[in-house]
Structure 1
Amino acid sequence: MAPNFDNTISTREQLRAVLGEPSPRVVSKVIDHIDVHCRGFIAKTPFLLLATADGKGKVDVSPKGDPAGFVQVLDDHTLAIPERLGNRLADSLLNMLERPQVGLLFMIPGKSETLRAGGTARIVQDDWLLEKMAVRGKKPQLATVVTVQRMFFHCAKCVMRSDLWRPEGWPDQDGVPTLAQAIIDHARLSDSVEQVQAGLDESYRDRLY
């Protein structure tokens, strides 16, 4: 049975009564372009999270990773993200065809601050761009081009609280299921853990690019 909640927040006024209003400095830190500070952060970013939603509002968040600097800044309002080999579900890409609005969170290992961006996306396959994104001599299949509408840096508090980059603060992994076991249970497979793990290992070895 789902839990029942009797004291929910349903209006902006209720929310602000609890949280208060942001300071003018916080509000004014949001910019509408990719400036020199954002460019510098993106150039060192090897990992980001991409948020999308379909036409019915179903939301998805997809991780993207490559060597640092894999996101191409094309001009002060445009960036491009390579689409590498994956599972072919194409959740984010299909969502963007229905609703182009996206959100991005750029992360640098060891860096507590993050960079957030929002804008509209389109899927392209122009060869001049894909060539620039080649890794190990292999071009991405597609690229997501984002027209940036807002960018701002996010403070370090959540990363500090989580000990995200501090190994001595990491939890042990006892009780965390393997991906192979989760796939077997979720997809109701008759394969053994060893068989599924072998398939994963092969994909990791042969299908990174």
Structure 2
Amino acid sequence: MPERVFYNQGARRVQDALETRPLADHIAGKYVTEELDESAAGMVSAAPCFYLATADAEGFPDCSYKGGLPGFVHVVAPGLLRFPSYDGNGMFRSLGNIVENPRIGMLFIDYGKPIKLRVNGIAHISTEAALLDAFPDADAVVEVAVRQVFENCPRYLHDMRCERYSDYVPRPHRTPPDPQWKLKPEYDELVRRKNG
């Protein structure tokens, strides 16, 4: 699969129109890497959530929130990440897009610092037992070959530090409760319930 240049022609046209090409070139040359350094790996490993951008075969985009306990995204190597796909609503829009188009974007935010970190890469879905064992309660594991890593200007981030983690996030030795929507009678024959 051929690698793309960092800025496409659309970005270049806007940079030229707004006279930011020299700034954009400086940032790309100095701060965009192909692997996670120690600081980026630490941020990813500590993250309780991230936002996942995918697109289908026609390029139609979708964005999804992915959450877990800190450490649910594994930094396997500087150029390799893994994260779990937990039980959800069964639509599998993100995973379905990855099947059709493996190019993804991940946005990690540390509201306390504040830092925004973008990780772009090529994703693959696995249901291999050896990978699932590392992620209790996961239905599948997404493996990401990292292609681009860069911090993004955090000046517009609000202070939204985490007060507590969701009761529904998988934890060792604990079965999370079923969400209220799964308890509606309309889903009796459609979903698997953990409690009942």
TM-score by length of 1: 0.68
Give the aligned partner of residue 147 of structure 1. 145
1:179-190 map, 5 Å: none
Counterpart residue identity of residue 16, structure 1: D
Query: Residues of 2 paired with 1:44 and 1:14: CA distance?
Result: 35
Number of residues of Structure 1 aligned to a counterpart in Structure 2: 160
More helix by share: 1
Answer whether contact 2:12 2:21 (CA < 8 A) is retained.
no
CA RMSD in angstroms, aligned pairs only? 2.6
Query: Which of the two has higher C-alpha Rg?
Result: 1
Query: Residues of 1 paired with 2:100 and 2:182: CA distance?
Result: 34
* 1:147-190 alpha-carbon deviations (Å, 9 max, x no partner): 0001011222120xxx34289xxxxxxxxxxxxxxxxxxxxxxx
The share of aligned pairs that are identical, in percent, is 30
2:90 to 88, 92, 104: 88
Residues 1:38 and 2:40 aligned together: yes
Give the aligned partner of residue 73 of structure 2. 71
Give the aligned partner of residue 31 of structure 2. 29
1:11 Cα deviation (Å)?
8.0
Structure 1, gaps ≥5 residues long: 1-9, 168-197
Structure 1 runs (4+) greater than 4 angstroms displaced: none
1:54 Cα deviation (Å)?
0.4
Task: Tell me whether 149-158 or 17-26 shows the greater mean CA deviation.
Answer: 17-26
Answer whether contact 1:46 1:108 (CA < 8 A) is retained.
no
Give the aligned partner of residue 59 of structure 1. 61
TM-score by length of 2: 0.73
Counterpart residue identity of residue 27, structure 2: V
More strand by share: 2
Query: Residues of 1 paired with 2:146 and 2:11: CA distance?
Result: 29
